[in-house]
Amino acid sequence: MKHWLTDYYVKPTSDIFFRYLFGMEEHKPILIDFINAVLKDSGFPLITDLEIKNPFNLQTLYNEKESILDIKAKSVDGRWFDVEMQNLYRAFFLERILYYWASMYREQLGEGEDYSLLRPAMCINILDFRMFKHVDKHHLCFMLREKDMPELMLTDHLALHFLELPKITDYNVEKTIDMWLYYLKNEGLSREDKIMETILKNNPHIASAREKYIRFTQDDHMREAYESHLKWKRDHKTDLLYAEKKGRIEGEEIGTVKGRHEEKFQTIKELLDFNMKPEEIARITRLTPEQVKAVIDAGDKGLDLLIGENAAKH
């Protein structure tokens, strides 16, 4: 039996809670501390204040199927930030990030305004999947540099940050960025987390985030919005899986054995994010409930478990 922090578990990286935590005007000190943690870890100047350009609005979420995922903000020194949580890899993800950056940069100027008014624009992407699988570092920052002389920078107006949660195993609780990433990965999972207790004592902004998390899980309207959005995403994902399955039945090539197991493993992870039960996941993936539970318990080694079972059968 899991001993969650509250009676109702909300995944801290979920779309709605993430925007609630970092996107509300009254939560602005929390967003500033998180952005400064990213900036400090990369050697950028810190910010003192900012304006949230698209503040969280619960009513808007009720009226939208696919909620706004990112948080846009402008610091008092003119820098622009786009903060986004991504739980799943999507097709053309990197192209979309570049498009978001380009839109944020272009929107700085009104009609007839001079290019000298343009300020640095930065995208901060927190990923709950491995994007750069052959690199161990969990915080990467990409900028415009000369190919053969990386010390020669073209401009500091473009910076793309990627923070990959699955890569983090050892936390430096002296680093604010590691504190925040630990919080986002583990909030709500346990009432007896010693590392979390240390972080909450050392960082008042993360302690404030804990208070906001508890308040969210105890608010009937927030919980209803959370469940409603999960249901929409679950139905949408099921529709996509059905269409994909139908296409394969009609002749679409399935791929290699390893590829099929990778697909099943990714599907299990995605459906688990929607709070689906192992029995429901089993029906969709054509595995047994016991196999699904074993894959879930194995965590990142679940794929190896699936491949190993297939090899044993042959």
Position 168 scores a pLDDT of 84
86 and 157 housed in the same domain: yes
Same domain, 207 and 105: yes
Judgement on whether residues 151 and 266 belong to the same structural domain of the protein: no
Q: How many domains is the chain partitioned into structurally?
A: 2
Co-location of 119 and 157 in the same domain? yes
What is the reported pLDDT for 166? 92
pTM of this structure: 0.75
Judge whether 33 lies within some domain.
Answer: yes
pLDDT in single tens digits along all 314 residues of the chain: 456 787 789 999 998 899 999 999 999 999 999 999 999 999 999 999 999 999 988 776 655 554 456 899 999 999 999 999 998 888 788 999 999 999 999 999 999 999 999 999 999 999 999 999 999 999 999 999 999 999 999 999 999 999 999 988 878 878 999 999 999 999 998 888 899 999 999 999 999 999 999 999 999 988 888 887 777 666 656 656 666 665 555 444 444 556 677 778 888 887 777 677 888 888 888 888 888 888 888 877 878 787 776 545 54
Neighbours of 72 (CB within 10 A): 20
Question: At 284, phi and psi to the nearest 5?
Answer: -75, -40
Same domain, 177 and 246: no
The reply to whether 205 and 249 lie within a common domain is no
- Do 260 and 163 lie in a common domain? no
- 306 and 281 assigned to the same domain: yes
Same domain, 298 and 189: no
Last residue in a domain, options 218, 243, 261: 218
Q: What is the pLDDT of residue 1?
A: 43
Does residue 225 sit within a domain? no
Q: Has residue 6 been placed in a domain?
A: no
Domain that holds residue 276: 235-313
Q: Give yes or no: residues 54 and 125 share one domain.
A: yes
Residue 248 is predicted with a pLDDT of: 57
Task: Dig out the tokens for 311 from the structure.
Answer: 């090899």
Question: Can you list the pairs that 83-86 forms with residues at least 24 positions away whose Cβ atoms lie under 8 Å?
Answer: 83/22, 83/31, 83/34, 83/35, 83/124, 83/126, 84/123, 84/124, 84/125, 84/126, 85/13, 85/15, 85/18, 85/126, 85/128, 85/184, 86/125, 86/126, 86/127, 86/128, 86/129
Q: 233 in helix, strand or coil?
A: helix
Same domain as 162, residue 86: yes
- By C-alpha distance, which of 188, 228, 230, 229 is closest to 209? 188
C-alpha to C-alpha distance for 257 and 310, rounded to whole angstroms: 9
Residue 247, in any domain of the structure: yes
Give domain status of residue 71, yes or no.
yes
Final residue in a domain of this structure, among 189, 218, 247: 218
Q: Considering the domain boundaries, does residue 1 fall inside one? A: no
**276: in domain:** yes
Same domain, 130 and 262: no
* 93 within some domain: yes
Among residues 157, 189, 218, which one ends one of the domains?
218
